[in-house]
Amino acid sequence: MKKVITMEQALDHIKDGMTIMIGGFLACGSPEKVIDALIEKGVKDLTIIGNDTGFVDRGIGKLVVSGQAKKVIVSHIGTNKETGRLMNEGKLEVVLVPQGTLAEQVRSGGAGLGGVLTPIGIGTPVAEGKDHLIIDGKTFLLEKALKADVALIFGSKVDEKGNVYYHESTRNFNPLMATAAEVVIVEAEELVKVGELDPHLIMTPSLFVNYIVKA
């Protein structure tokens, strides 16, 4: 199966109203080229799941500024003033989630689990409206799994089968999101031949990856 496709072909998989996961942490390890192409294409009403809304000119934040997001599920919006402004004007729904909870929601979505039980958030606004379960005398919140229609991830080195290596701190949410979406598209910073990546160092097995676009 040929996974390396053009940006145009990749964008065909992303439609109005979809839920998409986008890797990166304050734009470090975000698929910037795919984000730029999405903005050019103008897909709208997206629900975006990511660690944060980056900056006005970098990372997920660009899709907030362009008005293509109707909802974001993130842990932090403080570095992008447009997110706060659109939220206050009622033009963007913002769901704030503790970062470790978000990681586990995505991980459980990809792992076939219904969610996780976490003590984080108890006694804070995060816990409002959520089920509290007592397990062996300790209280936990039930946080449901998250899944997406499409995951957009960024790989530092990707082989033509879709095996991915992430360099330094670009890894963050990328390998988790690669497991939790119907269609996974990886933006390859460097595309290499099959066999060039040491199997010990592959962080996302190719079976999770549907398509590859060259950055």
Partner 1 sequence: MDAKEIIARRVAKEFNDGDVVNLGIGLPTLVPNFIDEGVEIILHSENGFTGIGPAPEADQVDLNLVNAGGMPVTIMPGGVFFDSAMSFTIIRGGHLDATVLGALQVDEEGNLANWMIPGKLVPGMGGAMDLVGGAKKVIVAMTHTAKGEIKILKKCTLPLTGAKKVSKIITEMGVMDVTPQGLVLVEYNTDYTIDEIQLATEAKLIISDQIKAMI
**Mind spelling out the 3-state secondary structure of the chain?**
CCCECCHHHHHCCCCCCCEEEECCECCECCCHHHHHHHHHHCCCCEEEECCECCECCECCHHHHHCCCEEEEEECECCCCHHHHHHHHCCCCEEEECCHHHHHHHHHHHHCCCCEEEECCCCCCHHHCCCCEEEECCEEEEEEECCCEEEEEEEEEEEECCCCEECCHHHCCCHHHHCCCEEEEEEEEEEEECCCCCCHHHCCECHHHCCEEEEC
Rounded to a whole number of angstroms, the minimum distance from the CB of residue 171 to partner 1 is 5
Nearer to partner 1 among residue 47 and residue 51 (C-beta): 51
Nearer to partner 1 among residue 4 and residue 28 (C-beta): 28
Nearer to partner 1 among residue 19 and residue 170 (C-beta): 170
Interface residues with partner 1 (CB under 8 A) are 25-29, 51-52, 74-79, 84, 87, 94, 96, 98-104, 107, 118-126, 156, 166-176, 203
Rounded to a whole number of angstroms, the minimum distance from the CB of residue 129 to partner 1 is 15
Nearer to partner 1 among residue 55 and residue 211 (C-beta): 55
Rounded to a whole number of angstroms, the minimum distance from the CB of residue 117 to partner 1 is 11
Rounded to a whole number of angstroms, the minimum distance from the CB of residue 55 to partner 1 is 8
Rounded to a whole number of angstroms, the minimum distance from the CB of residue 80 to partner 1 is 10
Nearer to partner 1 among residue 44 and residue 130 (C-beta): 130
